[in-house]
Amino acid sequence: MEEKNVLFLKSKINALPGFLILQADVLKLTAHKQTINLGGLLGAFLKKKVEEKDQGFEWNVNDIVSISKGKHGVQSNVLELKHKNGEEFRILVKNYDVWHSAILEKKAQ
């Protein structure tokens, strides 16, 4: 599966743009905070510092213990993932069923 644009739902009011990638046996989410461009050298420095921290994950698909469909407001294509270490992520995707099936298929291999 290729890289897809998604929204990482960090909280009820905080969504970060990112990419969800499913490769061989790895599911990876990269998501970065976006800031307002303040201009100048200080603004460029602050922007770089805020945006360089990756808010995502890189998991082996076999470490995912739960995959479920959630909601966020009126959106119902929320991929809810739980890792064996207890971490949970909610990701707004275009087509939940496609991602759910693809992850389960990789887990079965």
pLDDT of residue 90: 96
List 68's β-bridge partners, or say none.
80
Q: Tens-of-pLDDT digits for all 109 residues of the chain?
A: 566 889 889 888 888 888 999 998 999 998 866 555 566 666 666 555 555 555 789 999 999 999 999 999 898 999 999 999 999 999 999 999 999 999 999 998 8
pLDDT of residue 46: 56
Domain 4-108 falls under CATH 2.30.29.30:
yes
What residues have CB less than 8 Å from 52, skipping those under 6 apart?
32
Question: Where do the structural domains in the chain lie, given as residue ranges?
Answer: 4-108
pTM: 0.79
pLDDT of residue 40: 67
The b/e string for 34-69 (b: 16+ C-beta within 10 A; e otherwise) is eeeeeeeeeeeeebeeeeeeeebeebebeebeebee
pLDDT of residue 26: 95
pLDDT of residue 12: 83
